[in-house]
């Protein structure tokens, strides 16, 4: 069992190890080029990543060596004056974590110098499964970028801003939505749940939601710069749309990214472009329409809350300043962000079927999670097998003798338990539950991340899960299409 502070450090390093391996795999796929034209560049990037991974493992090995087992559940980050061997080792580990984060982000940005790669089909399937109407209407472009971030923009709007005469080419309301996400996440349909937030921005622009809410007198009279107010409103709106249509996976994918940036950036304050992720997470966790299935897991919320506190302590080491900052943060969250969320929710609910709500059942998610743990895909699901056993027993009691009627009854019973395609948002959420299960298994290991075997276990588990989620998404979409065609044929025959 690890203390909350140790859990944050392990989680952050785990996310960095996982993405660093993805980045190295990406470099391997690019290779040296046909005539070795970028061999040295690829090699330099690979070596820089391997080097920091080795240092990070060495730091964890040292920590587990000097930290007695019985102190692991209680250990807190040492204060600035603490001068013990343990404090020195732990501060050294935090410093390496900071370097790991900076190096990973910088090398990721340097991918701009290397050849590009196309988007994997499961990502397109995933987006179409979550937003079928939106995809049919706009055919959004998905592109991968070297910034470790996700974006949404309307390409036609950008063209019109830069080229005065281009307006003649496009009609007034024509739109070309582009969704961009980080190259290292290109093979992860789970990581790409973040694109749901980006689609949220596009749907917000289409229905003109956040601009209307930000202009309401209660917000417009706020002393904040109007740009900041509108930015915050836009971000909260995109989060709410994504949560309504896809569930908690988009915000969970944001958390996973943020743990990679957290050791080297200020994530504790609200920025001019985004409210803090803590505020965004709280807004979603406090959703009145929340169910057990869609509520973020309390254990995961607890670790993030602690990560936020540690970040606050590192940005504001002075006690008085830190308390003032915390008060300011919470006040803005209560007085502005939560209020904005209430107004936005009202506005969103008035749009009805234009923004449908995804449905989740806790039992079904838990059954999917169990299957994923066993290495099985989750593309289709019927009723609970325990129920099936009960119904078969009942059938045997009701029909003791063979007859044609017994055959018919059995056929009907089989139909009741036929597996149907699992919806993409449900696959993503069960994937995130399993992902959190992997992190918790890592916390329980005797020496997490202290050697190559431990890091390999983590990266293989994460990559295996991504492959299962990717194949489940493709299979479920094909299954749905087959059922649609069968139904069309059946109707056609009936009509004939
Ligand atoms: Zn956004």
Distance 283 CA to ligand 1 centre (A): 15
Distance 274 CA to ligand 1 centre (A): 7
Distance 339 CA to ligand 1 centre (A): 19
pTM of the entire predicted model? 0.91
The pLDDT value given to residue 147: 92
Distance 154 CA to ligand 1 centre (A): 14
Contact 245, 356 (CB under 8 A): yes
Distance 151 CA to ligand 1 centre (A): 7
Distance 300 CA to ligand 1 centre (A): 22
Mean pLDDT over all residues of the chain? 91
Distance 238 CA to ligand 1 centre (A): 6
Q: Which residues pair with 141 in a beta bridge?
A: 178
- Interatomic CA distance for residues 326 and 271, integer angstroms: 14
Distance 266 CA to ligand 1 centre (A): 18
The pLDDT value given to residue 93: 95
With bands split at pLDDT 50, 70 and 90, how would you rate the model's confidence at 200?
very high
Distance 235 CA to ligand 1 centre (A): 5
Cβ neighbours for 248, distance < 8 A, ≥ 6 positions apart = 284, 294, 295, 296, 429, 432
Q: What's the Cα-to-Cα distance from 235 to each of 21, 200, 205, 352, rounded to whole Å?
A: 30, 9, 12, 21
pLDDT at 496 over 70: no
Distance 124 CA to ligand 1 centre (A): 20
Side-chain half-sphere CA neighbours of 64 within 13 A = 18
Backbone angles phi and psi of 144, in degrees to 5: -100, 140
Query: Which of 141-145, 218-222, 306-310, 351-355 shows the lowest mean pLDDT across its residues?
Result: 218-222
Distance 67 CA to ligand 1 centre (A): 41
Distance 92 CA to ligand 1 centre (A): 34
Distance 174 CA to ligand 1 centre (A): 22
Distance 473 CA to ligand 1 centre (A): 25
Distance 198 CA to ligand 1 centre (A): 6
The pLDDT value given to residue 312: 95
Query: Which of 4-8, 41-45, 402-406, 443-447 shows the lowest mean pLDDT across its residues?
Result: 402-406
- Interatomic CA distance for residues 168 and 171, integer angstroms: 7
Distance 132 CA to ligand 1 centre (A): 21
Distance 253 CA to ligand 1 centre (A): 13
Q: Give the residue from 247, 140, 139, 258 showing the smallest Cα distance to 198.
A: 140
Distance 354 CA to ligand 1 centre (A): 20
The average pLDDT across 294-311 equals 88
The pLDDT value given to residue 196: 94
Distance 372 CA to ligand 1 centre (A): 30
Distance 197 CA to ligand 1 centre (A): 6
pLDDT at 256 over 90: yes
Distance 322 CA to ligand 1 centre (A): 27
């Amino acid at each position: 069992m690890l203390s909350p502070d140790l859990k944050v450090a392990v989680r952050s390093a785990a996310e960095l190890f996982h993405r660093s391996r993805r980045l190295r795999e990406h470099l391997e796929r690019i290779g040296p080029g046909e005539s070795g034209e970028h061999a040295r560049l690829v090699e330099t990037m690979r070596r820089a990543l391997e080097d920091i991974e080795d240092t990070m493992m060495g730091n964890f090995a040292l920590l587990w060596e000097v930290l007695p087992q019985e102190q692991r559940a209680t250990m807190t980050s040492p204060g600035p004056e603490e001068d013990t061997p343990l404090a020195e080792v732990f501060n050294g580990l935090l410093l390496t974590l900071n370097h790991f984060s900076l190096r990973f982000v910088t090398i990721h940005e340097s991918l701009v110098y290397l050849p590009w790669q196309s988007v994997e089909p499961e990502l397109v399937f995933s987006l179409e499964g979550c937003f079928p109407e939106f995809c049919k209407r706009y055919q959004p472009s998905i592109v991968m970028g070297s910034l470790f971030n996700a974006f949404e923009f309307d390409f036609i709007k950008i063209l019109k801003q830069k080229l005065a005469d281009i307006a003649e080419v496009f009609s007034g309301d024509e739109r070309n939505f582009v969704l961009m996400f980080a190259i290292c996440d290109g093979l992860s349909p789970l990581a790409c749940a973040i694109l749901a937030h980006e689609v949220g921005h596009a749907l917000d622009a289409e229905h003109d939601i956040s601009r209307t809410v930000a202009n309401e007198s209660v917000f417009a009279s706020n002393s904040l710069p109007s740009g900041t107010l509108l930015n915050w409103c836009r971000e909260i709106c995109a989060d709410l749309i994504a949560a309504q249509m896809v569930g908690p996976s988009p915000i969970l994918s944001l958390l996973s990214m943020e743990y990679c940036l957290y050791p080297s950036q200020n994530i504790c304050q609200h920025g001019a472009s985004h409210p803090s992720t803590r505020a965004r997470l709280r807004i979603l966790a406090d959703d009145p329409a929340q169910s057990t299935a869609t509520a973020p897991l309390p254990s995961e919320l607890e670790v993030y809350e602690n990560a936020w506190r540690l970040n606050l302590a590192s940005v504001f080491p002075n006690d008085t300043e830190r308390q003032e900052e915390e008060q300011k943060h919470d006040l803005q969250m209560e007085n502005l962000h939560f209020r904005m969320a209430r107004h936005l929710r009202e506005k969103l609910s008035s749009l009805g079927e234009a923004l449908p709500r995804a449905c989740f059942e806790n039992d079904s998610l838990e059954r999917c999670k169990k299957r994923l743990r066993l290495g099985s895909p989750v593309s289709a699901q019927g009723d609970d097998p325990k129920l099936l056993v009960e119904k078969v027993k009942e059938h045997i009691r009701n029909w003791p003798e063979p007859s044609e009627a017994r055959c018919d009854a059995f056929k009907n019973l089989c139909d009741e338990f036929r597996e149907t395609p699992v919806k993409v948002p449900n696959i993503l959420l069960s994937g995130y539950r399993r992902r959190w299960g992997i992190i918790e298994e890592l916390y329980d290991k005797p020496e997490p991340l202290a050697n190559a075997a431990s890091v390999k276990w983590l990266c293989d588990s994460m990559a295996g899960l991504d492959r299962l989620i990717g194949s489940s998404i493709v299979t479920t979409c094909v299954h749905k299409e087959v059922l649609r065609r069968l139904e069309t044929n059946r109707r056609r025959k009936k009509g004939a």
